[in-house]
A and B are shown apart, each in its own frame.
Chain A
């Protein structure tokens, strides 16, 4: 287990297209988080899972965004009808029942 992995690492898409990102957490971690980071800012919380249950969603997460963690292992984050303002780095993190979060390398999204 080499830590949290995210795929793809980079995604370029045209405005209006749908995109899906995947996060594979550290295997024994039951908590999984998604963050978004834009240039010059720190990561912003998007949503959080404990096992397969989505426990909290930020109001930043519009109805175009949906996240799932169907079996309590990997998670997907989908953005529908992408907009240029969605361009950012999308970070995934996982943890045990402890606030110490282990981060993935991120997926950089560019919306043209």
Chain B
């Protein structure tokens, strides 16, 4: 069965501290991996995808196929990063399986 695990429901860090949001997946085939973010009172939106290998808003994510992980990292967290983050593998057909999310709070 396809499964996505985000082990931390809540994560709290101070401004300027590094942050890592964990994602482990169990998926058949070779999914594409995504991180979505939902800021307060906004809709769910794409943050980054592994094939683009970009840094978005200072965030990066490395796909580790051996460990089937796709952890999201940022070296210096900012208060505006406070949001809900979802890891979502996606099949070639387009269907996404979402983790249950991690609520990140960045304290001043």
Contact = CB atoms under 8 A, between A and B. Distances in A.
Contact of B94 (A33, A35, A105, A106): A33
A106 B41 CA distance: 11
Contacts of B94: 31, 33, 48, 95, 99, 101
A100 B9 CA distance: 24
A101 B46 contact: yes
B45 interface: yes
Contacts of B45: 102-103
B43 A99 contact: no
**How many of chain A's residues touch chain B, expressed as a range?**
20 to 34
A7 B93 CA distance: 26
A56 B95 contact: yes
Nearest to B32: A99
A65 interface: no
Given A99-B32, A103-B45, A104-B43, A55 B93 contact: yes
Interface stretch (B59-67, B74-82, B96-104): B96-104
A99 B44 contact: no
B5 to A, nearest CB: 11
Interface of B: 4, 9, 32, 34, 43-46, 49, 86, 88, 90, 93-101
Interface of A: 3-4, 31, 33, 35, 40-45, 48, 55-56, 91, 93, 95, 99-106
